[in-house]
Amino acid sequence: MFIATVIVGLTTLCFAQPSPSINPRDMTATALFREETLDASHKIAWKGPTLSEETRFAVAATGLSWNAQAEGVTLIRREGKSTQYASAEIRYQAFLRIQRGNQKKEAFAAALSLLLNPERNDTYWMAGNSYLEHYGEEVDKVLIGILQAPEKLPLLSEYQYSAMDSLTRRATFRLFPLFCTLAESSDRYLRSRAIAALGIIHSRPATDRVTSQLLNVPLRANSISAVQSRTIMELIHDAAGDKNWRVRCAAALAIGLIHDEADVPILEKLVKDSTYLASGSKNDRAVLFPVRAQADVSLSTFGRGATLPIRATGKDVSRAYRGGRDVTNDRSDTRQDQTSKVRFIDAEW
């Protein structure tokens, strides 16, 4: 799998030093799950390809290898050949009850479950992320371990898009090499998130409105060189002309975050994009133009706006359809078995 083979080569660079954000008086996640990580493959009776250190860490941290329970709630349920998380509401309530106690392993696993499967409830995601911020880059190591997971590995292989969405929302410069590599992935879902992450890394304070409207996460100050800036901009400009609509949406977001007047013409082109998503019944249809919508938000930071409809309902739908391209069911260049459970942004891409 592309994702696993590429990312394995980058993790040494990304995780070379211990996280300075961990309070030395508290146990790190690495120490917390040391025994479970060493024995992870055996505990889940894994017969497939050798798991990377990061994936074994993820197996341990999710609780997959030790049947994690919080306040009597089993976080991961096995039904036949299916391995799934319990409902988000149940996991969230259990997490609230234990997060301030001494059950650190259980609290970590419960918070991580909310990062991977909040069932589109951003309150749950934010609660899990807030708790896990204490563990710094170790959380990113878990998420990367999930990205590296072989396709048939229980639970983890089903949450790779969710892991990527969470990594993107948590984007920091330390993961710059990873995002640059994934920005050229053949998987267009991963590519779109990597482009968005590079925009977040290169973002400017004037673009707070974009993140507050769409990402709901604070921007972090990053110091990047002129060479790194050029690399990011080349990848974003390529993405603006990508055949996949998700990648073009990501380029529009990234350009808005970076906020360079020289890129306004690109946004003005994207705000005329003809791809649309359709919803509703035959007699009550609605369409959304996701690339236009994303470009419009970014243009608004320059004091400009869309010149074509972004949404259409009722009798305006037939006019909106004309000359457009329906991408509602377009899953080309993405994994058919993957659907992110994380609310990445509000523009439905």
- Three state DSSP letters for 195-221: HHHHHHHCCCHHHHHHHHHHHCCCCCC
pLDDT at residue 29 above 90?
Answer: yes
pLDDT tens-digit profile of 177-212?
999 999 999 999 999 999 999 999 998 765 555 555
pLDDT reported for residue 313: 81
The sign of the torsion formed by the CA atoms of 71, 64, 340, 166 equals: positive
Cβ neighbours, 10 Å, residue 18:
13
pLDDT at residue 287 above 70?
Answer: yes
Please tell me the least confidently modeled range out of 52-61, 83-92, 162-171, 217-226.
217-226
pLDDT at residue 255 above 70?
Answer: yes
Which of 2-16, 141-155, 296-310 has the highest mean predicted lDDT (pLDDT)?
141-155
Q: Are 250 and 267 in contact (CB under 8 A)?
A: no
pLDDT tens-digit profile of 297-343?
899 888 887 777 787 887 777 776 777 898 988 888 899 888 899 98
pLDDT at residue 216 above 70?
Answer: no
The enclosing H or E element of 85 equals strand 82-85
* C-alpha closest to that of 89 among 54, 117, 53, 130: 117
pLDDT tens-digit profile of 55-80?
999 999 999 999 999 989 999 998 88
